[in-house]
Amino acid sequence: MTASQEIELIRLLELDDRERVSPKLEAFRAPARIKGCRGGRGAGAKSWSIISLAVQRAHRERTQIVFLREVQLTLEESVWKLVRDTIERLRYSGWVVTKEYIDCPRTGSHIIFRGLSDLRADQIKSLEDFDIAIIEEAQSVSSHSLDILFPTIRKPGSEIWFGMNPDEEIDPIVARTWGSQRDDMILLDLLPGPVDNPWWTAELQKEMDEDFKRDPDLAEHVWNGAPRMQGERSVMTRGAIRAAMDRKTETDPEADIELGIDVARFGDDRSVIFKRQGMKVIDHRVFTKLDTQELSRVAWDMAGRNLRVKIKVDDTGVGGGVTDKLRDMGAQVIPVNNGGAPGNKKLYTSSADEQWFEFPIDLADIPDVPELMAELSARKYRYTRDDRKQIESKAEFKKRYGRSPDLADALLLCYFNPQVLKWGPV
């Protein structure tokens, strides 16, 4: 290798290091109509990585980019400074930075910054030719703004990017993306720590640990990306759910193995199977567009084709087909009618109510899955006229969240023993 070749190699390696983003967000380099990520402080270096990816693309090819937020009174409220600093950090030359826009004359790329709620009709129409719309603080964007934005960004190959730290249990952007079954999206859940953020520091870890000691609920939002405020009359608290997700119990080889199956009832629902041994979840699987025959075979395999394993199925509607098939295969299947009578009729109106309120959250060891956290913490309840607790229906939840609480329902079935109305291993 000649001296000039060695210098060029070093230059390319240094450039590659500067252009590196957090590992999960490398997925944003692939084409997709919608690219979104959510997480708390320091999780995946969200803003830093998204802006770096946008600037890199604009430096290599002609790209029209608009950074949007719900309200932007001044340029300083946008990520204008971060874009400018990113160009400098990447050592890209030839860019023009003004208070109105940022351009790369070499490629013809153009970057602007706008507030969605302030756009006039003619300004909205002017965004039709943009290649990428990047939504800042997407948790604050209203449903009305999203209704206008999504069809406006219509150029062939155009994309909508966003990052967020949720405010509400179900923000409009979550219902429109995570709550849908679109196949043209890249959606990422980011966690704090060195796995999702290679630039994580000991100082960040210390601050996170101290915040969890001082105010666990607030820290759950700040660092883990849980909604800022939990809704009134939520069945389970986020603190209790987090404790169950952080609980690390040893698997008891002598404990019984049980499965819970929530069967998809509609086209965009998912079929979910949870498997536990004792109080510890040891496996779970999620399926879309899987027929009841195949779902039954998968469940029977997960049970090890063991007659001693109890398999509890939401027997409502199409779930009956899974129950029948499992019986044909010789499984110990227990059908559960979630709308049926509860064991304690004085407290609850249905079996589903009882499953939610009697779930052993203080004993269970469950997987740390952001969507499971959202479903468990977002399910609401009301009191009936005779003072019994009643959870909101799946249809009501789906209307708010965009999809059914399939993971949560399967988890609760996994722990429920309707034969003796007892929770946990028999």
Residues 252 and 342 in one domain: yes
E-only strand ranges, 54-136: 64-69, 96-97, 102-104, 109-115, 132-135
Residue 113 DSSP SS3: strand
CATH, residue 169: 3.40.50.300
Domain count, the chain: 2
Residues 75 and 182 in one domain: yes
Q: Which residue has the tokens 């300083």?
A: 76
Final residue of a structural domain among 189, 211, 226? 189
Token pair for residue 376? 């468990």
Residues 271 and 414 in one domain: yes
Task: Give the orientation angle of helix 370-378 with respect to helix 406-415, to 10 degrees.
Answer: 80
Low-confidence ranges of the chain (pLDDT < 70): 5-13, 15, 73-74, 76-77, 122, 168-170, 227-232, 266-268, 419-426
The DSSP string of 32-70 is -SEEEEE--TTSTTHHHHHHHHHHHHHHHS--EEEEEES
Any domain includes 216: no
Residues 183 and 247 in one domain: no
What pLDDT, on the 0 to 100 scale, is given for residue 113? 93
Residues 98 and 177 in one domain: yes
Any domain includes 178: yes
Residue 387, sorted as left (phi over 0), alpha (psi -120 to 50) or beta, turns out to be left
Residues 179 and 244 in one domain: no
What pLDDT, on the 0 to 100 scale, is given for residue 45? 87
Any domain includes 12: no
Residues 280 and 393 in one domain: yes
What pLDDT, on the 0 to 100 scale, is given for residue 43? 87
Residues 261 and 179 in one domain: no
Final residue of a structural domain among 130, 162, 189? 189
Residues 252 and 382 in one domain: yes
The DSSP string of 301-334 is HHTTT-TTSEEEEE-STTHHHHHHHHHHTT-EEE
Residues 59 and 177 in one domain: yes
Token pair for residue 410? 């399967």
Any domain includes 296: yes
What pLDDT, on the 0 to 100 scale, is given for residue 426? 34
Any domain includes 198: no
Alpha helices (runs of H) in 90-171, residue ranges in sequence order: 121-125, 143-152
Residues 271 and 418 in one domain: yes
CA separation for the pair 326, 301 (Å, rounded): 11
Domain extent for 353 = 237-423
The closest alpha carbon to 264, from 244, 281, 287, 282, belongs to 287
Any domain includes 347: yes
CATH, residue 315: 3.30.420.240
Kindly report the pTM of this predicted structure.
0.63
Any domain includes 225: no
Final residue of a structural domain among 131, 165, 189? 189
Any domain includes 53: yes
What pLDDT, on the 0 to 100 scale, is given for residue 84? 95
CB atoms within 10 A of CB 361: 18
Residues 167 and 308 in one domain: no
**b (16+ CB within 10 A) / e for 211-238:** bbeeeebebbbbbbbbbeebeeebbbbb
Residue 259 DSSP SS3: strand
